[in-house]
Structure 1
Amino acid sequence: MPSTPKAVAPSPLKPHRVVVLALPGLIAFDLTIALEVFGRAMRDVGMPCYQVSVCGEMDELDTGLFGIRVKHGLEALSEAQTIIVPGTEPATAGVTPVVMQALRKAHRHGVRLASICSGAFALAEAGLLDGLRVTTHWKEADSLARLYPQVEVNAKVLFIDEGQVLTSAGAAAGLDLCLHMVRRDFGAAVAAQVARLSVIPLQREGGQAQFIQPQDLPHNKYLEPLMTWALGQLHRPLSLDALAKKACSSQRTLNRRFQEQLGMSPAQWLSQARIQRAQTLLETTPLTIEDIVSKVGLGSAANFRAQFHRVTGVSPSNYRRNFGPQGWHAPATAFQLPSERPVQAPR
């Protein structure tokens, strides 16, 4: 099996050439993420770290609210050391045979490829994600896994670095990925300066799992009544035996139906439901951790914190800080009124 070519390392003197591929259906925010992060990266001597350009198969693109004129054609990809593929709506929009051929050629020549959000679909369609661990926006993750079964999709993380190929989750996760690439190319000091200018942390805690919305109950005459009942009993310990008796079923049959409909066991679903209830309480109430534990049936506060971090990637207190109403948790230095002194950039 031929070895994977190594990504081109940035030159210590010349700017690293980044080309952003603009496809039909382009998500404009994803495009600007790459332009802003790589365009702001500067060496100590005041020289830019990157030379950034935008190319596409089409001269003009409609983003929905405004149009974009693309200066360069796909031939610009042959000069790139890194290619960024922003997301599109729909996810597979604009992935023509010509685009796939250009991406494959770049990959063969060792060019580094990175996708933001649903841009992973373009790389997958070109066959460049086969056998790799990848991520994309959590709403598109199931579709990516279904369309490209040879790709290992992880919907919980913000980004994945597989060396020559990198993928990120949706929206702001593209910032995390681009900052990671700057850090990998030119060091933490350069990446930290870009983060300061963008007023964002160099590295966020947790992953994409903390943003995933709870799934609706399946429209299944067998499972839906049982699950509705169980959601009203989350404060109580619920064993597999108790669930099976409520469903008038054997444990083996119940487990098989959960696996068929949800791809998980009853115990896994129940644990997930308890965490999702805890997320709602953290978002909408000022209840203490101990009060929340008693309402979601996860035993001790220590066990609750461990389970919550395992599922969401962050602690309950940090989750509340991110998603709970301001006033319950926000530190006094988090914002200031216009009459107060300006907020300084984080050090």
Structure 2
Amino acid sequence: MPVVALLVLDGVPGHQLTTPGLVFEAAAEAHRPARTELRVCSVRPAVTTAGPLPLTITAPWGTDGLEGADTVVLTGHDGFLAGPPAGVADAVRAAAARGSRIAAVGTGTFTLAATGLLDGRRATTEWSHTAELAARHPRVVVDPAGTVVADGPFVTSAGVLGGVDLCLHLIGRDHGPPVAGRTARRLIALMREDAGATREEIDRELAESAGLEPTLRWLENRPYDAPTLAEIAAHARTSVRSLNRRFRERTGLTPRQYLLRIRLERARRLLETGDGTVDEIAARTGFGSPESFRRHFRRLTGTTPRAYRTAYRSSGG
């Protein structure tokens, strides 16, 4: 049975502590071979969760719980800007050296970045902290709008709904996208049932979720255009209000933010591999002007396109 070690520190958001167990249990119910042993580990026997209602829990495992783990997941915590407590970085580096996959939820990416393991690699974190991550760890290639970013054995996420995005990604990699899809549908059904929804409402919710995929692909194939919200809603065969809700639920972004993410991702790749000027890349990726491109790139990454290209190439990427 695969082992996932969840490394938690004081000030861990409560939902990041409980979400992995919920998701992996749903995966096992959807697909028995997806059963996982989940270890809750910490550097101290007792851990206090973040506010507004702090709770003290006992962690059954110390950092020794990382030994033999197939995957180590680092959660966020209140003191993430101060760096990890003593012993954490060494334990994570040792796990990586043993061949463990290392993942981070939300601001847990700062803990992972502090180990040096992300230097020269792509990563993301909570979207409100991407600029801070780029500033503090300039050797990390920060994806400003990524939901889940995988680079080799390292996986980081924005931490949507306490890490549901990350856990589903891990399940998809280990057991295939269909199992991850069944797990997601089971989670949606459970949440809707807990809220008193009828079976018809649950079925409609699932149908809407699946129905957004063609529109996402349509947008990804035309990132240089500027479709209006009404045009996007018409493609999805829904109202603008429903479109915004469904985009938030599916991607964590509005339709316009999703388009911006696609454009910035393509611009980032051109900066890494192409020889075009910043102005040429702005035109090729659908930004209205070079100034608009620079403004959006700096706002979401904390650096300029030119500085990003220089840092990426000097790191050997």
Counterpart-to-counterpart distance in 2, 1:157 and 1:44? 27
Cα RMSD (Å) of the superposition?
A: 3.1
Counterpart-to-counterpart distance in 1, 2:81 and 2:42? 15
Kept in 2: contact 1:24–1:93 (CA 8 A): no
- After TM superposition, give the deviation of residue 120 of structure 1 in Å: 0.1
User: Which one has more relative contact order, counting CA pairs under 8 Å at least 6 apart?
Assistant: 2
Identity %: 32
Aligned pairs for 1:155-234 within 5 A: 155-172=144-161, 174-199=163-188
Kept in 2: contact 1:59–1:69 (CA 8 A): yes
Structure 2 residue identity aligned to 1:87: G
Counterpart-to-counterpart distance in 1, 2:57 and 2:90? 24
Corresponding position: 1:80 with 2:80: no
Structure 2 residue identity aligned to 1:303: A
User: In the alignment, which residue of structure 2 is the partner of 1:303?
Assistant: 226
Corresponding position: 1:23 with 2:12: no
Q: Deviations over 1:43-72 (max 9, x none)?
A: 778455211110100111111321111111
Q: Deviations over 1:162-193 (max 9, x none)?
A: 13000000332721221111011012332223
Corresponding position: 1:56 with 2:42: yes
Q: Helix, strand or coil for the counterpart of 2:87?
A: helix
Q: 1:100 aligns with which of 60, 66, 89?
A: 89
Q: Normalising by structure 2, what TM-score?
A: 0.59
Q: Normalising by structure 1, what TM-score?
A: 0.54
User: After TM superposition, what 4+ stretches of structure 1 lie above 6 angstroms from structure 2?
Assistant: 200-207
- After TM superposition, give the deviation of residue 98 of structure 1 in Å: 0.6
Gaps of 5+ in 2: 190-205, 217-224, 233-237, 249-317
Residues 26 and 321 of structure 1: is their aligned pair in 2 closer, same or farther, counting only changes over 3 Å? closer
Q: Which has the larger share of helix?
A: 2
Gaps of 5+ in 1: 1-14, 208-301, 310-314, 325-347
Counterpart-to-counterpart distance in 1, 2:106 and 2:12? 11
Q: Deviations over 1:275-331 (max 9, x none)?
A: xxxxxxxxxxxxxxxxxxxxxxxxxxx73439x98xxxxx9946533489xxxxxxx
User: In the alignment, which residue of structure 2 is the partner of 1:149?
Assistant: 138
Corresponding position: 1:320 with 2:306: no
Kept in 1: contact 2:105–2:159 (CA 8 A): yes
Kept in 2: contact 1:138–1:155 (CA 8 A): yes
Q: Helix, strand or coil for the counterpart of 1:176?
A: helix
Q: Helix, strand or coil for the counterpart of 1:41?
A: helix
Q: Helix, strand or coil for the counterpart of 1:20?
A: strand
- After TM superposition, give the deviation of residue 31 of structure 1 in Å: 1.8
Structure 2 residue identity aligned to 1:158: T
Q: Helix, strand or coil for the counterpart of 1:182?
A: helix
Structure 1 or 2, whichever has the larger Rg, is 1
Aligned pairs for 1:284-295 within 5 A: none
Residues 53 and 124 of structure 1: is their aligned pair in 2 closer, same or farther, counting only changes over 3 Å? same
Residues 197 and 322 of structure 1: is their aligned pair in 2 closer, same or farther, counting only changes over 3 Å? closer
Counterpart-to-counterpart distance in 1, 2:39 and 2:187? 20
Aligned residues between the structures: 210
- After TM superposition, give the deviation of residue 131 of structure 1 in Å: 0.6
Structure 2 residue identity aligned to 1:134: A
Counterpart-to-counterpart distance in 1, 2:108 and 2:173? 21
* Greater Cα offset, 130-139 or 84-93: 84-93
Residues 26 and 305 of structure 1: is their aligned pair in 2 closer, same or farther, counting only changes over 3 Å? same
* Greater Cα offset, 165-174 or 120-129: 165-174
Counterpart-to-counterpart distance in 2, 1:27 and 1:71? 18
User: In the alignment, which residue of structure 1 is the partner of 2:104?
Assistant: 115
Kept in 1: contact 2:30–2:183 (CA 8 A): no
Counterpart-to-counterpart distance in 2, 1:24 and 1:44? 33
Kept in 1: contact 2:19–2:162 (CA 8 A): no
Kept in 1: contact 2:31–2:179 (CA 8 A): no
User: In the alignment, which residue of structure 2 is the partner of 1:261?
Assistant: none
Residues 45 and 134 of structure 1: is their aligned pair in 2 closer, same or farther, counting only changes over 3 Å? closer
Residues 58 and 47 of structure 1: is their aligned pair in 2 closer, same or farther, counting only changes over 3 Å? same
Kept in 2: contact 1:117–1:170 (CA 8 A): yes
Counterpart-to-counterpart distance in 1, 2:26 and 2:246? 27
Kept in 1: contact 2:147–2:160 (CA 8 A): no
Q: Deviations over 1:122-149 (max 9, x none)?
A: 0001111111111000111111111100
Q: 1:69 aligns with which of 50, 53, 58?
A: 58
Kept in 2: contact 1:39–1:52 (CA 8 A): no
Counterpart-to-counterpart distance in 1, 2:74 and 2:80? 12
